[in-house]
Amino acid sequence: MERTIFESEHDLFRESFKQFVEKEIVPNNNDWEDNGIVDRSLFEIAGANGFLGIDIPQDFGGGGIEDYRFNQIMQEEFDMAGVAAAASGIGLHNDICIPYFLEFCSQEQRERWLPGLASGKYITAIAMSEPATGSDLASISSTAIKDGESFILNGAKTFISNGIISDLIIVAAKTNPEAGHRGISLLVLERGMDGFERGRNLDKVGRHSQDTAELFFTDVRVPSENLLGEMNKGFYYMMFNLPQERLNIAISAVAGTQYAFDLTLEYVKERQAFGKPIGNFQNTRFKMAEISTELELAWAFIDKCVLAHNLNDLSADEAAMAKWWTTELQKRAIDQCLQFFGGYGYMDEYPISRLWRDGRVQSIYGGTTEIMKEIVGRGLGL
């Protein structure tokens, strides 16, 4: 089925961005997987080509384009090239972190940070999860107590994407510990601040080229001018951007599943068993037909959500629906695709094995499937 949400400028952008991915990411992908981290130069090259901060105003070096379809195209091309892990740091930077800076920065902060975000000089991360706290953000224990013209930050964070490579980290901490979620603020932590330490680059099941770290704060003095937005409004700010974050994950899930399906369709047409291609067996045909149908449904819903998001009309419930359903589809469909590859599917040299590993986390980060269903259920008045 033809997708109808894109216009000619989107098609031209997709072609240009696809060339960037093929030139700058694909040839380095295996090395970055082995190293557990991408080169900083990737962000600088992306910035120089106009692929960072596409929605940052032109006065600050960005693209000045408020159309999420361009972000959608970038995420799709990352996954369709099989480099979603290596490129996920760019997606985090563009789709999850930059919106906080655009929405909540003061004019002084915009002048200080936005040009570097657009150029790739500053790489961003956001630190919410803690060792004892995952989806329940109201229960975080990190504190940032006001002390004169500074905040004294103490605590720890874990599972932080871009945790090793980042320069600016949005940290959620309690500035009023007695007020629960109403006492959370967002502070921008900068590389090199005294008392700020990064732990190890965590050894994950998949997404090896995406650096993921533990962060530790011991009496870190963060100047008041690094407070993002108003004090004690951090929880509400985090809720503001979660629909876009979850939509981004959903786009990645569908594109990643499509890439796995395309690889598998080619394989089952060529792989012989009992004298004929395995795609000729009824079970294979039926399973591939099921995945193909579900992909058509997923693409239609994702495109509908993107158009709604462009109109500021994407609800938290719809974003949660998109996130949980597409990521569960990704797990289920890629597992079936791997099965068709047989023993070869379990070998690292076959891309399907990496897609299987890398896709597993999609139903966990950004809010687990169970949390997404809870959001949808509450939206139904249950």
> Domain of 281: which CATH number?
1.20.140.10
Q: Which of 197, 216, 231 is the last residue of a domain?
A: 231
Residue 3 forms part of a structural domain:
no
Residue 2 lies in a domain: no
In this structure, what token pair is assigned to residue 136? 């329940």
146 shares its domain with 271: no
Q: Is there a single domain that holds both residue 262 and residue 370? A: yes
256 and 368 belong to one structural domain: yes
Looking at residue 271, its pLDDT comes to: 95
Residue 288 in any domain: the answer is yes
Residue 300: partners with Cβ closer than 8 Å, 6 or more residues away: 1
Q: What is the CATH number of the domain that holds 188?
A: 2.40.110.10
112 shares a domain with 23: yes
Q: Are residues 89 and 204 in the same domain?
A: no
Whole domain around residue 208: which residue ranges?
A: 125-231
- Expressed in angstroms, the distance from the first to the final Cα of the chain is 36
Measured in degrees and rounded to the nearest 5, phi and psi for residue 368 equal: -65, 165
Q: Which of 33, 245, 294, 318 is catalytic?
A: 245
Residues 70 and 144 in one domain: no
305/372 same-domain check? yes
What was the pLDDT predicted at 156?
97
Q: Assess if residue 165 is contained within a domain.
A: yes
Q: Of 270, 376, 366, 281, give the one whose Cα is nearest residue 320.
A: 376
* Same domain, residue pair 250 and 352: yes
Show the DSSP H helices in the chain as ranges: 8-24, 29-35, 41-48, 68-80, 84-91, 98-104, 107-119, 234-270, 282-310, 316-340, 351-359, 369-379
pLDDT at 1: 72
Among candidate residues 122, 152, 185, the one where a domain is terminated: 122
Residue 358 within any structural domain of the chain: yes
Which residues of the chain are under the pLDDT cut of 50? Answer: none
Quick one: pLDDT at residue 139?
82
| 103 a catalytic residue | no
For residues 131 and 206, state if they share a domain.
Answer: yes
Mean pLDDT of all residues belonging to the chain = 96
Domain boundary among 55, 87, 122: 122
Residues 240 and 344 in one domain: yes
pTM of the model: 0.95
Whether residue 372 sits in one domain with residue 249: yes
Q: DSSP 3-state assignment of 64?
A: coil
Q: Which two tokens stand for residue 72?
A: 């959608």
Are residue 176 and residue 226 in the same domain, yes or no? yes
